[in-house]
Structure 1
Amino acid sequence: MELHLKLHEQYFLKNIKEKLGNTSISNEVSSKYESLFLSGVFWVLSGLSIVNKKRKYLDEVLGKNIINLIYKLVMQCLQKKEINENHIYNFKKKKYFLSNIDIKNIIKKSKCVKTNLNDKIRIDRKEYRRKEKGDTQFFVKWSNLENTKSENFDINNHKDDNKLVELKLFGDNYVNLDNAKKTDEHCYNYTVVNSLFSRKRVTKKKYVIKGFSPCSKKWLYEPNVISTLSAIQVLFLINRISEDDISTKTLLEIYNFLYFLFDEEKGFFHFSLNSFLFHFDGDMRFMFCTLSALHFINLLLKKRNIHINLYTNRQQYIDWILLCFNLDGGFSNLPGSESHAGTTFCAVNSLILLKDENQRTCFSSNPLLRGKIIRWLCDRYDNQGMNGRVGKDSDVCYAWWVLGSLVSLKVNLSELFNVNILINFILKCQDKCNGGFSRIENSKNDVKKEYFNYYERESLAYKEADLFHTFFALCALSLINHNVHRYKEKRKRKHELFGNVAFPQSLENTLKQMQHVHASFAMPAHIAH
């Protein structure tokens, strides 16, 4: 079997130019694919990056006009919402949330020194509430005065004082008596000064969150963690990650959005604001998407001298993920449900993202857990392919979910499977005429077309090639190729002569043209680091 990379590249280009790049579609028209718009853009762009190792930037194949259009479409999906401060306290979010003043100070400091986000400017909440009530005397600071209770005092005796009366607002900003009115030649009136303070308005804090919705129809779709992750990944792929493209202020407000969805009591992240407000159950996919989005935000902020500690609630995250671990060795979507390859992928990679200060994961201290997960993933090999659950048919996309989990666990795939059989199964699913991959073998599709045309639309067994399965099939092929060659190099260093896997020469030459895929984020590895 041969891998037709050029044909699959044309398949991606056809979709991005005809469907995703079509601006003539009216905003009033609704489509069932709208909820997957940003995810679909990511599949196409990442797929185009993977099929050609020599391509550095996507504008080489798409053109700057398409790249600019994609950037515009992505940023149109960004939604903004202001959160009432009472909600911040009621939902116990004050230790995570950044106000507009905090963000302003962080950006200001980051321009000259490295800033730790956990050391953000902290203002006493009691002090702030008293300021809002207008209790101005609480902030009056008298310096070097013996008789502070008298209403009038002689200013000539205190000419050397740096500041006689100061009002502390934020940081080192002060209001002094230089502009206060005199009641006679030598004295200030305290009541005049006090009225001056009461007229000085304190900047009110605002708490803003920003997130990405699946498409630009903001009245129909609300921001969620999956779309937010897809949008950030798209910006990385099209190289639009500068301050002008997505500002630090926006990144910190997205950080606010993600942490607002965190359930303090149970330890998981919600899907959206509505799921948070209505107390829906957690989902392993949302945990992984949130942690991944925070990872990419952290990459951008580090380049701008701002550092986020993602492990503030590290143990809570880990505890909830382990609650979803089942006795058979797989992870479920939520505690008590059935194990699934997709949710196992999310759980494994979430645990890997949650490293401690010494860059150690929970698998380092618990090899038994790692062994049980590997055993369950190996059991997903069925009928020369991969399935997602016990008793289910094989599907080409599960080659990515299963093999991606195993590679993240640092496993040599050639020791567990006959990788040539897996590659052969994936290649049988490709459409050799139009490009793309279907969910099952193409030969089975031919049988359905010949004998069951009348039932073709309703049949779950018959599926045309689609972007989802095409993208993950190519990711799985790249992952297998890189994993096999990585362990080949290790064997060479150890001078081991036997045990190497051999691919057909033509197939090996084609696989070498593919970009190395990150096992967690399904995008070129050099971009995700």
Structure 2
Amino acid sequence: MGYNMYGLLNEELDLNLHEKYFLNTITEKLGKTYNESRSSNKYESLFLSGVFWVLSGLSIINKDRRNLNEVLDNNIIELIYILVMQCLEKKKIKEKYIYNLKKEKYLLSNEDVHNIINTSKYDNNFDKKSYTKRKKLERTRIIHDSTEKNCSEKVKNINNIDIDSEENSSKMREPKHSKLINDGEETTSKKRPFSKINVKLNKSMNNLSCSEKKKKKKKFIVRGFSPCNKKFLYEANVISTLSAIQILFLLNKTSEDDISTKILLEIYNFIYFIFDADRGFFYFSLNSLRYRFDGDMRFMFCSLAILYFIKLLLKKRNINIHIYKYKEKCTQWISSCFNIDGGFSSLPGSESHAGTTFCAISSLNLLKGKSYENYFLENRLLKRRLIRWLCDRYENFGINGRVGKDHDVCYAWWVLGSLVSLKTNLSELFNVNILINFILKCQDRNNGGFSRVEQNENNFKKENFNYYQEEQLTYKETDPFHTFFSLCALSLIYYNVNYYKKKAKRKCVLYDNAVFPQYFEHVLRRLKHIHESFAMPIDMIKSPL
């Protein structure tokens, strides 16, 4: 099969075939029609991340499709929604752990959550900072009023004593217990009831103090999503929590009835409970916090993305809270993962990788708000070095993930998504037709789907390098993971080239004066515009910051 003048293979991209591939995946997984004799693939799972790949892939394929209701039955959508919500885990954190870990500053107690929900019902411009300030002022005013009242009463009593007549003063000076001293029976009879009253008063005061202590104890609840509904096997973590929230966006299940404000604020608690304020990174889960594991760039991006979506949902419900805290700490930790070669590693001192570089750039963009400029992305020297390292991932008409590795079609998304996030023109850095050619060669033209490498390379390796036959076959088969990110990469290329074509107000000139073939551009136009960080249709995501 040869190349034409545009550098593309003489084949078409059949989006309907890939749509059927996604639909068959859903019916197989949910309908229990999966062939057990077939070897499993590490990229196939019922986990929430796998559900997100399939649903987001279906939403990207057709630009004219507004909702997934047009391609999926309502029963299937409700079933997926139930499966997602079954993965939600709830944990109660004792108050002493909150104070021991010094997390009382940015965690919300049940009272705080209740107050935020109630205030949002009547205050459209509710702000957490102003609310806390207002509460402090109210408390200080109450204390001040009570002390002032007590002082005024004491002064009043003193004044009354001073104004008394001599008669009253003589009565006051007269010892009232003189008679009691002379009569022993009266003394004993009147001492007993006073002692009993004192004991009762002490008991009542102790009960009041105990009740006050019980009232003062705050309850802190955190929630997160586990990878599947088998909660006894898996704990809640940031990756599955992000996938769950993205699925709810894709299913259009983001109302108060679908996921309440209380749950969103408790997920907010979960994210900040696993945050290490000293080192500036997020842990993977509660157990990773417990055992003090190292940070990871993937967890940083997932945590910040979760906070972004929470902010987006809360803003629709007239709740405005300060969502991103410790921006400088997070930025410093991300910058410490930047290597001399120009890429980012998963943690400080490790090897640069395209996936972790994507997470680092996306995290820095999330931290960069209107009132906070990210000094790293504004530095031209570092930015050029980063772009050069990403361009070096182009290898043998494909894209790899790190130095010395074979190309893989999913890295087309990680690398190109990073470059688009850096506001670069892909047509000035690559021959985009060769990149499209590399992606198209990985598709299965008969059954749909994309594999990690080219289909002809699959057949070659099956015959010659079959050391572990079962593993080798599954390693090269099509799967939802690579199918989804291949379509995302095609959408990125098309919309990036068109954006800079319109911006320049001239015909987009590529290498050798090549442009998209007309028949192929018509197919790419059907794809939805994908968000370069969240791998979702961009019309679903609007900046809340």
**TM-score between the two structures when normalised by the length of structure 2:** 0.81
In the alignment, does 2:87 pair up with 1:80?
A: no
How far did residue 312 of structure 1 move? 2.1
Kindly report which structure 2 residues correspond to 1:30-429, keeping only aligned pairs within 5 A, or say none: 37-113=47-123, 114-121=125-132, 142=149, 145-147=152-154, 202=215, 204-358=217-371, 360-363=373-376, 365-429=378-442
> Structure 2 vs 1, CA of residues 62 and 438 (structure 1 numbering), >3 Å: closer, same or farther?
same
How far did residue 120 of structure 1 move? 4.5
C-alpha offsets along residues 310-367 of structure 1, whole Å, 9 cap, x if unaligned? 3320000000000000000000000000000000000011001111434643345311
Select the structure that is richer in helix. 2
Kindly report which structure 2 residues correspond to 1:24-35, keeping only aligned pairs within 5 A, or say none: none
Matched residue, 1:182: none
> Structure 2 vs 1, CA of residues 2 and 96 (structure 1 numbering), >3 Å: closer, same or farther?
same
C-alpha offsets along residues 442-480 of structure 1, whole Å, 9 cap, x if unaligned? 001122345566743233895100011011001000100
Do the aligned partners of 2:466 and 2:472 also contact (CA within 8 Å) in 1?
no
Q: % of aligned pairs identical?
A: 62
Do the aligned partners of 2:451 and 2:477 also contact (CA within 8 Å) in 1?
yes
How far did residue 141 of structure 1 move? 7.6
Matched residue, 2:8: none
For residues 232 and 24 of structure 1, the distance between their equivalents in structure 2, rounded to whole angstroms, comes to 27
For residues 139 and 265 of structure 1, the distance between their equivalents in structure 2, rounded to whole angstroms, comes to 40
For residues 374 and 36 of structure 1, the distance between their equivalents in structure 2, rounded to whole angstroms, comes to 36
Among candidates 466, 479, 482, match of residue 479 of structure 2: 466
Q: Which has the larger radius of gyration?
A: 2
> Structure 2 vs 1, CA of residues 7 and 34 (structure 1 numbering), >3 Å: closer, same or farther?
closer
For residues 464 and 378 of structure 2, the distance between their equivalents in structure 1, rounded to whole angstroms, comes to 55
Matched residue, 2:519: 506
Do the aligned partners of 1:399 and 1:476 also contact (CA within 8 Å) in 2?
yes
1:73 maps to amino acid: L
For residues 247 and 234 of structure 2, the distance between their equivalents in structure 1, rounded to whole angstroms, comes to 19
Which secondary structure does the structure 2 equivalent of 1:210 belong to? strand
Which secondary structure does the structure 2 equivalent of 1:370 belong to? helix
Do the aligned partners of 1:448 and 1:462 also contact (CA within 8 Å) in 2?
no
> Structure 2 vs 1, CA of residues 498 and 430 (structure 1 numbering), >3 Å: closer, same or farther?
closer
For residues 384 and 513 of structure 1, the distance between their equivalents in structure 2, rounded to whole angstroms, comes to 26
How far did residue 507 of structure 1 move? 1.1
Mean CA deviation greater in 15-24 or 140-149? 140-149
> Structure 2 vs 1, CA of residues 528 and 444 (structure 1 numbering), >3 Å: closer, same or farther?
same
1:3 maps to amino acid: L
How far did residue 144 of structure 1 move? 7.7
C-alpha offsets along residues 369-419 of structure 1, whole Å, 9 cap, x if unaligned? 111110000000000110000010000000000000000000000000000
1:104 maps to amino acid: H
Do the aligned partners of 1:211 and 1:224 also contact (CA within 8 Å) in 2?
yes
2:65 maps to amino acid: R
How far did residue 306 of structure 1 move? 1.3
> Structure 2 vs 1, CA of residues 310 and 342 (structure 1 numbering), >3 Å: closer, same or farther?
same
2:540 maps to amino acid: I
How far did residue 147 of structure 1 move? 2.9
Which secondary structure does the structure 2 equivalent of 1:457 belong to? helix
> Structure 2 vs 1, CA of residues 507 and 456 (structure 1 numbering), >3 Å: closer, same or farther?
farther
How far did residue 89 of structure 1 move? 0.6
Do the aligned partners of 1:328 and 1:376 also contact (CA within 8 Å) in 2?
yes
Which secondary structure does the structure 2 equivalent of 1:55 belong to? coil
> Structure 2 vs 1, CA of residues 281 and 21 (structure 1 numbering), >3 Å: closer, same or farther?
farther
Matched residue, 1:183: none
Structure 2 gap ranges (5+): 1-10, 161-200
For residues 231 and 529 of structure 2, the distance between their equivalents in structure 1, rounded to whole angstroms, comes to 36
Do the aligned partners of 2:44 and 2:480 also contact (CA within 8 Å) in 1?
no
2:218 maps to amino acid: K
> Structure 2 vs 1, CA of residues 224 and 236 (structure 1 numbering), >3 Å: closer, same or farther?
same
For residues 490 and 96 of structure 1, the distance between their equivalents in structure 2, rounded to whole angstroms, comes to 43
Among candidates 519, 523, 529, match of residue 536 of structure 2: 523
Query: Higher relative contact order at CA 8 Å, sep ≥6: structure 1 or structure 2?
Result: 2
How far did residue 117 of structure 1 move? 2.7
Which secondary structure does the structure 1 equivalent of 2:91 belong to? strand
For residues 365 and 289 of structure 2, the distance between their equivalents in structure 1, rounded to whole angstroms, comes to 25
Which secondary structure does the structure 2 equivalent of 1:239 belong to? coil
Which secondary structure does the structure 1 equivalent of 2:89 belong to? strand
**TM-score between the two structures when normalised by the length of structure 1:** 0.83
C-alpha offsets along residues 218-271 of structure 1, whole Å, 9 cap, x if unaligned? 111100000000000000000000000000000000000000010111100000
Mean CA deviation greater in 370-379 or 496-505? 496-505
Kindly report which structure 2 residues correspond to 1:437-452, keeping only aligned pairs within 5 A, or say none: 437-450=450-463
2:382 maps to amino acid: L
For residues 21 and 148 of structure 1, the distance between their equivalents in structure 2, rounded to whole angstroms, comes to 81
For residues 355 and 508 of structure 2, the distance between their equivalents in structure 1, rounded to whole angstroms, comes to 36
For residues 239 and 53 of structure 1, the distance between their equivalents in structure 2, rounded to whole angstroms, comes to 17
Which secondary structure does the structure 1 equivalent of 2:222 belong to? strand
For residues 86 and 34 of structure 2, the distance between their equivalents in structure 1, rounded to whole angstroms, comes to 16
